[in-house]
Chains A and B, each alone.
Chain A
Amino acid sequence: MTEIPFVNRFFSQSDEELRSTQLGLFLLDNMIWPILAIVLLAFSLAISGFLSSGNFRIILYGSAALSALVLGEALCLLSGHFDLSVGAIAGFSAIFTGLFLIEWFPGTGGLVGILIILGVGGLIGFLNGVSVAYLGVNPFLQTLSFNMIFSGAVIVLSTATLSGMPESYLYLGGEEFMGIPVAILLMAVLYALAGIWLKYTRSGRAVYAVGGDKDAAREAGINVNRVIVLVYVLSGVLCGLGGLLYTGYLGVAAPTIGQNDVFPAFAAAVIGGISLFGGRGKIIGAAGGVILLGAVESGLVLLDIDPTTVDVINGLILLGAIYLYTMEEKLRQRLLTAR
């Protein structure tokens, strides 16, 4: 039997050492939350009313559609892949469905529209997954191609902003339930469900396994290709949902939907602790990453910071997160190997 030193050391620790190690690992796994707390505190000291319920509602509501894309991206990253087409899928599915509802088949119900937008997203995700899993296409090139194709297809379909969609179609993104935007509630539920699925189900854990070591996962009996297709389909459906939430949020389907979202989707997931290399990270952390980006944007607006610097600041935050998580990995190793 192969000797694994750090495992042996881990199990040979005393109860107190074990608790200390577990606490250390817990803190490392949830670093996003203290970071978020510090950022919120800093902005609240600088800006009166920053932490008011109204402003926090705006931050969460304004981030809801992006959070759907981040969730999709996070699933791909956890499986050791990534998706550069998240924004393009969101934009294309929103415009495609918008045209379907108001030009091609006017009078179609909103529920049908919701099924179509999720279906379009899922279908594109399926094509991504099949290409990557079964045809062996590099995920970067596959999703880059789809990004170009579907961004271009949006403009082919319509340069105009589309309006006049059914109220029921706009409900999820545009309405409130008990004073809280439905989009916020929906995304909170979806993140919770995704977290439970990944932690407590066999298929969910398979995502981590594939992301951690594809060969080992295969040897453990996991159908790796099926897992890859599954995460891309889920990512596509979530991108469709993002398009739907954007449409409801704006009240219209604009051709610009999702066009600048690739970077924030990656950044939020990575800042939230999802490993770029797969197999590590908590999905709830990605939610923290989205909120962090939203809070920073809100704070910079209220501080009247030149918007040209926002990207620089977001980049610095991302760089900081990457340094932090690189340090985290070293700390993790140290904790696991400490006697």
Chain B
Amino acid sequence: MIIIVGVYLYSRAYTAIPEGMTPKDTSTSHGTRRSFVKAAAGVSAVGLAGCLGGDDGGDGSRTIGFETMGLGGDPWMGAFTNAAEWYAEDNDINIDVSSGQFDSAKQIQDLRQMIRQDVDGIVISPFEPGALAGVIEEAVDEGIPVFTANSTASTDAVSMFTAFGNANAASSAAELMISRLEDRYGEARGEVLEIVAPQRNPTFVDRHEGFENRIQEEDNVEIIEQIQVEESDQASITNKLSTRLQQGTDFDGLYCPDLNSELGTLAAMENTGTRVERGEDGHIIMTGIDAGPNVLSAIQDGYMDGSVDQPNLFYGPISIKYLVDYLEADDGASALPEIGTEMTVDDLDIQGGTHRGVDPWEEPIWAPATVTEYEAGDATQRYFQTQGVTVTQENADMPYIWGNIMD
């Protein structure tokens, strides 16, 4: 029994990247991965897995700590992280990447380590806004400015928060759903099934509320059922959705709040024979958030109507650019865009080299951005709100979508 409980607690607590591995160990740049592949031909992969390190970037004088929400099994976060590493490398900035493993305690530990290392600044995507506020204030007290990207923490100590916003993305997914229902019925009406991801994660709270709030604005569109998924792994989601879809597809549309739920749903549709192309009888209108490689294929093939994506390849670079400007300015805050302004490509130019055969920042899909005040709990902070991208059959093959670069 003790063993079982131990195994259970361990399997719940453990999130893909072993404790004890250093931040370098958890870096996963694709260059590193290729090195691994070459080496793996002759050497046991086991030994290499724990030994490979990430690239610290260039030899610049600035060292930035970059804390992701987590990497394990999340390609979106992987692309977000890779883009920051590429930008730092291209612009001669040292970057130390750590994975928070989707665990606030791990993120706090990582930030304390960065403070001890005396990095020049920190960019972080907090897992939980409240949990990270204290350690961010500690960093700022030590003279280390903190910028947030993708998600933020509820403290005034954050210098700037960069994101399109999960609620906005969910609202855009709802817009697309409504638009497709109008195409089907000539008016906005229909019944929708919503997949709800774990609500202990504020990202998913926003993605649920953003969708629900926009749908509720329509009198004749109704969310008839919410399927809650707890796990992040596709197999569990596929099982749940298969069970539901097998009972019948007595609804018009289905909303998926993240990449895993999109992929799990697509697999469930295939397994239950309910995956039907757009334009054919029985097609379930499917919209979601996050356009990873396999989702793009499903959109191009017509099985999925569209997915809203955030300009994740820009989040890190924008944050790093302003962080460096902040560090170099006499009065740090003066280097940041003023609240109330609209930022265009003329105001901000994110540049770097070629990665994976393309320039990931060639198309400034973040623009125009608005700079406003963001209320994070009781705190307010400068909010660099980018644009998002609604990916449909028309633009699914565009190289500026991270799923095409990372494929």
Interface residues of A (CB under 8 A from B): 49, 54-55, 57-59, 61-62, 65, 82, 84, 87, 96, 99, 103-104, 124, 127, 140, 144, 147-161, 163, 246, 249-252, 254-257, 259-260, 262-263, 266-267, 270, 276, 294, 297-298, 301-302, 304, 306-308, 310-311, 315, 318, 322
Contact = CB atoms under 8 A, between A and B. Distances in A.
A252 B294 contact: yes
The 7 A-B residue pairs whose C-beta atoms are closest, nearest first, are A153-B49, A307-B230, A159-B78, A256-B233, A62-B239, A160-B75, A256-B73
A246 B75 contact: no
Main secondary structure of the interface of A (DSSP, over half): helix
Interface string B1-14: 10110011011101
B271 A249 contact: yes
B3 A159 contact: no
B243 interface: yes
B404 to A, nearest CB: 12
B247 interface: yes
Interface stretch (B16-24, B346-354, B374-382): B16-24
B406 A82 contact: no
A246 B28 CA distance: 24
B3 A249 contact: no
Contact of B16 (A259, A266, A270): A259
Nearest to B78: A159
Contact of A163 (B37, B48, B242, B297): B297
Contacts of B71: 155, 159
B292 to A, nearest CB: 7
B251 interface: no
A45 B297 CA distance: 41
B91 interface: no
Contacts of B28: 155-156, 159
B339 interface: no
B240 interface: yes
Contacts of B260: 254, 256
A104 B292 CA distance: 21
A256 B18 contact: no
A62 B16 CA distance: 23
Given A157-B49, A251-B266, A257-B234, 11 more contacts: A59-B243, A152-B50, A153-B46, A158-B33, A159-B71, A249-B238, A250-B234, A254-B73, A276-B1, A302-B247, A322-B4
Nearest to B20: A148
Interface in B259-280: 259-260, 263-264, 266-267, 270-272
24 contacts: A58-B239, A58-B243, A62-B242, A103-B37, A124-B46, A144-B10, A148-B19, A150-B46, A152-B25, A155-B26, A155-B73, A156-B36, A163-B293, A250-B264, A256-B73, A263-B4, A263-B12, A266-B4, A266-B8, A276-B4, A304-B225, A311-B230, A315-B8, A322-B4
Contacts of A144: 10
B240 to A, nearest CB: 5
Contacts of B233: 254, 256-257, 259-260
Interface residues of B toward A: which range? 35 or more
A36 B234 CA distance: 26
A139 B37 CA distance: 30
B231 A260 contact: yes
Given A155-B26, A159-B72, A301-B243, A249 B235 contact: yes
Nearest to A262: B11
Contacts of A87: 11
Contacts of A155: 16-17, 26, 28, 71-73
Given A65-B235, A150-B46, A160 B292 contact: yes
Contacts of A306: 228
B49 A263 contact: no
B406 A255 contact: no
Contacts of B1: 276, 322
B235 A140 contact: no
Contacts of B238: 62, 249-250
A155 B14 CA distance: 13
A298 B272 CA distance: 14
B345 interface: no
B243 A160 contact: no
Interface in B264-309: 264, 266-267, 270-272, 292-294, 297
A326 to B, nearest CB: 10
Contact of B271 (A61, A127, A153, A163): A61
A189 B134 CA distance: 57
Interface centre among A103, A156, A298 (most CB of B within 10 A): A156
Contacts of A310: 230
B37 to A, nearest CB: 6
Contact of A55 (B33, B36, B243): B243
A256 B243 CA distance: 20
B229 interface: yes
B36 A157 contact: yes
Contacts of A161: 75, 234, 259, 263, 292-294
